[in-house]
Amino acid sequence: MDGFTAAELDARLREFLAEDVGFADVTTDAIVPSDALATAEIVAKSECVVSGLPVARRVFEILDPDLSWEERTPAGSKVPPGAILARLSGKARAILTAERVALNLLQRMCGIATATRRYVDAVEGTRCRILDTRKTPPGLRPFDRTAVRDGGGANHRFGLFDQVLIKDNHRVLAGGVTAAIEAVRRYAPETMKVEVEVESEEDLREAVAGGADIVLIDNQTPDTVARWSSLARTVPNPPQIEASGNVDLGTVREYALAGADAISIGRLTHSVQAADISLEIEMRR
């Protein structure tokens, strides 16, 4: 899992379970005998791209280490409604108690993967990559980034520590693009990429002159992206061009054809439409 060791993943999943279970699953514990066994299927109720089954499996295994799990669909598969994603068998109480946490994560990850695939399909045949952003709920970023990759997209920087991104407020406080680039060149490791968000042609020229590795053209039309991309590529070793800002499925291909090497889409993770997935259980005889 991106950003997690196995131990860290378990710790995070235990936190999620603790939030949901509290001191006890009173309904399940009252109704289901402690020694009861059950089998279940995880079923897609809507068309989706699969992501997150290993995470869901681990949630169940934390409550039942002897759980039997059969994964039916690999990550990145596009499945129709009614597809069986996995079969599981084990302690009935554990399956019921873990169900909501496991499905919440699975539905979110499949939803992100599905949305990402739509954007990737929309720019097919161009050189443009679809990127995620840091617009993720706290605690869920590793899960969201994995889902983006399963959907065929690529990951932007993980956090504030692994790439420089000079944004509008940085420019204001630094006194302009040039001053901001000079400051990060003095501070950041030499191997760290420097990206600069630009909102005017003047910003663009300063970013290119300052040796930015990536220029992020934010909130501009496809025509402007095309013009500014051409300007940026007139120098030796030109920067990569990234576009962002209110790009949707109806416009993403225009931005790709305008010359963007990558397009970052915040709505992949900040406005997730969860896939419809359910767990169907029966007592094991």
Among the listed residues 64, 99, 132, 197, the single catalytic one is: 197
Measuring CA to CA, how many Å separate 275 from each of 43, 49, 109, 180? Answer: 11, 9, 8, 42
Does the annotation count 91 as an active-site position?
Answer: no
Task: Give the count of beta carbons closer than 10 Å to the beta carbon of residue 227.
Answer: 17
Among the listed residues 78, 118, 134, 135, the single catalytic one is: 135
Alpha-carbon span 173 to 92, nearest angstrom: 58
Look at residues 29, 121, 140, 25 and name the one whose alpha carbon lies nearest to residue 76.
Answer: 121
Cα dihedral angle (8, 14, 19, 24), rounded to 10 degrees?
-170
Among the listed residues 72, 78, 87, 100, the single catalytic one is: 100
Alpha-carbon span 148 to 136, nearest angstrom: 12
Which residues face 131 on adjacent strands?
154, 264
8 Å CB contact between 35 and 65: no
Q: What is the end-to-end Cα distance of the chain in Å, rounded?
A: 36
Query: Based on the number of CB atoms within 10 Å of its own CB, is 119 exposed (0-12), middle (13-18) or buried (19 or more)?
Result: buried
Among the listed residues 10, 199, 218, 276, the single catalytic one is: 218
Does the annotation count 223 as an active-site position?
Answer: no
Which residues face 216 on adjacent strands?
197, 242
Does the annotation count 167 as an active-site position?
Answer: yes
Does the annotation count 100 as an active-site position?
Answer: yes
Residue 22 DSSP symbol: T
User: Token pair for residue 85?
Assistant: 């994603």
Among the listed residues 134, 167, 227, 267, the single catalytic one is: 167
Does the annotation count 197 as an active-site position?
Answer: yes
Positions marked active-site: 100, 135, 167, 197, 218
